[in-house]
Amino acid sequence: MHSHHPLRAVTLMLAAMLCFASLDATAKHLSQTFNVPLLVWARYTVHLLLMLVFLGPRFRLGLIATRRPVAQVVRALLLVAVTGFAMAAFRIMPLAETTALIFVTPLIVALLAGPMLGEKVGTSRWIAALAGFGGVLLIARPGSALPPAGVAYAAIAAVCYAFYQIQTRKMTATEKPLTMVFYTALAGSAAMSLALPWIWHGPVPTTLEVVMICSLAIYGGVGHFLLTHAFRHAPASTLAPFLYVQLIWASLLGWLFYGQWPDALSITGMATIVAGGIAIALVERSPAGRIGAERG
């Protein structure tokens, strides 16, 4: 049974968004020294080990019981792609701008929901989506000094994330959330482990760097846990606007640790993307607006 405690829900949401922003900031730092595929492998392998240790004894085979194993793997690999391309973008671009570009995901989902899910794409969705994409142009405009490769990585991450969310919508009726999270860790770890001989190179991490690498999975896991509980205490339509607080956290962390602050046009673009996303979330008034439910 879900209780209604809006203040508690918002507090959990703010903490979850800080976890996701911290994951991105840590990945940006580590990617200056270690190659991105290796970080992706560590992210999902540590995630898998934590689930096996803390949840395996309790749920046992319930973790892998699914009616749609192929769909689970496809969904998981889409998220692995999101993680890899997002980290590649964070490596060469500021935190705030990259986060904003990836946050066009709900706008893409709103448009894809018509042909892929049979949902009606009304005029309000089109207007909100077009406004959001206008915000993207303000951020990635010519002369913005953002590297084209980084913008491309962020765009690919957003598209993969949109297909991931579409796949999630299709599966929630028959699949348990915990099983879906486990398959994400399992498929991500397996896929990246197969590539390990080709991606295992570079310097040997120090003890502190090992801790930071492991923290990628902890930030993601704790963030997802907090977010899930936030939605148990308030409806999605109430919490959807607070998902964009991750942009504020990203801006602050980028300024504190990297001395990067968005210019006026980029801030305007971010605000436009946020406005478009919130408009769609409020129109739909459904859990579909859970942007940060599981990323990274």
Question: pLDDT band at residue 85, thresholds of 50, 70 and 90?
Answer: very high
The CA distance from 296 to 220, in Å, is: 6
Instruction: Note the pLDDT of residue 287.
Output: 44
**Highest mean pLDDT (candidates 80-89, 98-107, 120-129, 265-274):** 80-89
Percentage of the chain exceeding pLDDT 70? 93
**pLDDT value at 63 more than 70:** yes
| Exposure class string for 165-180: b at 16+ Cβ within 10 A, else e | bbbbbebeeebeeebb
Question: pLDDT band at residue 128, thresholds of 50, 70 and 90?
Answer: confident
The CA distance from 160 to 166, in Å, is: 10
DSSP state of 205: P
Please write the tens of the pLDDT for every residue from 192-239. Answer: 999 988 888 889 999 999 999 999 999 988 888 788 788 778 776 677
Instruction: Note the pLDDT of residue 84.
Output: 96
**pLDDT value at 141 more than 70:** yes
Lowest-confidence range among 41-45, 107-111, 170-174, 284-288? 284-288
Residue ranges of domains in the chain? 6-101+146-260
Shortest CA distance to 34 belongs to which of 214, 185, 190?
214
Instruction: Note the pLDDT of residue 237.
Output: 65
If one counts every other C-beta atom within 10 angstroms of the C-beta of residue 130, the result is: 12
Check residues 170 and 70 and name the one with the higher pLDDT: 70
Q: Report how far apart the first and last C-alpha atoms of the chain are (Å, whole number).
A: 29
Check residues 289 and 146 and name the one with the higher pLDDT: 146
**pLDDT value at 289 more than 50:** no
Instruction: Note the pLDDT of residue 270.
Output: 92
Question: pLDDT band at residue 294, thresholds of 50, 70 and 90?
Answer: low
Question: pLDDT band at residue 130, thresholds of 50, 70 and 90?
Answer: confident
**pLDDT value at 1 more than 60:** no
230 contact partners, CB below 8 Å, separation of at least 6: 9, 10, 12, 13, 16, 239
Instruction: Note the pLDDT of residue 295.
Output: 60
Query: By 3-state DSSP, what share of the chain in percent is helix, strand and coil, each rounded to 5?
Result: 80, 0, 20
Please write the tens of the pLDDT for every residue from 19-46. Answer: 999 999 999 999 999 999 999 999 999 9
Instruction: Note the pLDDT of residue 231.
Output: 76
